[in-house]
Amino acid sequence: MTNKMQKPPNSPIRLALVAYPGAQRSAVEGLADLFALLPRLSRGEEAIQRLETRTVTETDRPAGSVDAFVFPPSLESTQARPDHPLAHWARAQHGAGALACSVCAGAFWLGHAGLLDRRPATTHWALEPAFRAAFPQVELQPDHILVDDLDIVTAGGLMAWLDLGLHLTGLWFGPDMVSRLARHLLVDPAGREQRHYSGFRPARGHGDAAVLRAQRRIETGFADPLSVADLATHAGLSERTFLRRFQAATGLGPAAYLQRLRVEKARGALERSGGTTAEIAWSVGYRDPSAFARAFKSGTGLTPGAYRARFRVTPRPQRPAALCRPAGARI
């Protein structure tokens, strides 16, 4: 969907914000406040189509149709399930033509409503394993902050309701209003991806002790030139069996696992240390800085320099010694 929603000029856009059990209230209220700003930002220069927002709950669902609905993020268990009244409501609304949207864990509601099978979608990167297990037919794209698939829009992180709000503003009111809204909110309207922020958290609860031994060997020797033969020996398995079991347990081959771990270690070094890119590349096992740069950008979407510029942790300034003396100390 790339054009404004086509509705009669005097007909309001009806947006439902779904406050399901466990929904993040700040996101529900934040989206309502975001859209309430639009008439003010129009500056009286042009007529702006009215947008009516309402909150939908398990016990208060509109009987009539809406133009769009949003399942916001959650800080708790979402309690989503296929037979939940809100899942039934979402299916009916989408079937009647409503634009279905979700943020973060809200995608589980769209999944249980049966709206995402064989469709591209995103959710929070930390929810990827659970989401893939629950909805294997979904074309999950966890690197992306937002995926627009025409009649379904999904956004990734807990705060990605801002990205969704800006995106919907563009669909309904055009790019100029997006620019005004972004400037007013002091947010960057574009250019972000989840992989800029997501970390590598390898699977450990698989119950395969041999693979766990190999994982520990990688995690303590990631800067070494590890081979499949070395890892298989460490696991006490033949190479063929090791490769099969490692892939089954972790979801990655050993080479991909090692690369992602090295990139994760490099992230921390770029955030916290003052070493050069070449020094950091060497410390995580890359002898060729250009190969490191390619691997790092492939994993994060940013060059090492751009990542450091965006995420470097600035040390807190030290207080002068005189200000640090305990009370009553003599000068």
β-pair type (99-103, 68-71): parallel
What lies within 8 Å, CB to CB, of 230 at 6+ separation is 217
β-pair type (51-56, 99-103): unpaired
Residue entry with tokens 């809200």: 106
d(CA 30, CA 223): 45
Q: What is the pLDDT of residue 328?
A: 40
Q: What is the pTM of this model?
A: 0.67
DSSP code of 132?
Answer: H
Domain parsing of the chain, residue ranges = 13-196, 209-311
Q: What is the pLDDT of residue 193?
A: 73
Compute the radius of gyration of the chain from its Cα atoms.
24
- Residue 50: HSE in the Cβ half-sphere, 13 Å Cα cutoff: 8
- What CATH architecture does domain 209-311 belong to? Orthogonal Bundle (1.10)
Q: What is the pLDDT of residue 190?
A: 63
Q: What is the pLDDT of residue 83?
A: 95
Q: Would you write out the chain's pLDDT as a tens digit for each of its 331 residues?
A: 434 444 555 689 999 999 999 999 999 999 999 999 999 898 765 557 889 999 999 999 988 999 999 999 998 877 899 999 999 999 999 999 899 999 999 999 999 999 999 998 999 999 999 999 999 999 998 888 889 888 899 999 889 999 999 989 988 988 888 888 988 998 876 667 777 767 787 877 788 999 989 998 998 889 999 999 999 999 999 999 999 999 999 999 999 999 999 998 998 889 888 899 999 999 999 999 999 999 999 988 889 999 898 878 665 454 444 443 444 433 2
CATH class of the domain whose range is 13-196 = alpha beta
- Can 13-196 and 209-311 be said to share one CATH topology? no
CB-based contact 134:114 (threshold 8 Å): no
Q: What is the pLDDT of residue 297?
A: 92
d(CA 59, CA 72): 17
Please give the full DSSP string across 244-270, using - where no structure is assigned.
HHHHHHHSS-HHHHHHHHHHHHHHHHH
Give the Cβ contact number of residue 326 at 10 Å.
Answer: 5
The H or E element containing residue 161 is: helix 161-173
Q: What is the pLDDT of residue 327?
A: 40
d(CA 2, CA 14): 19
Residue entry with tokens 């060997």: 217
Pick from 21, 29, 30: which is nearest to 81 by CA?
21
DSSP code of 318?
Answer: P
What is the dihedral angle through the alpha carbons of 166, 167, 170, 171, rounded to the nearest 10 degrees? -140
Residue type, 302: L
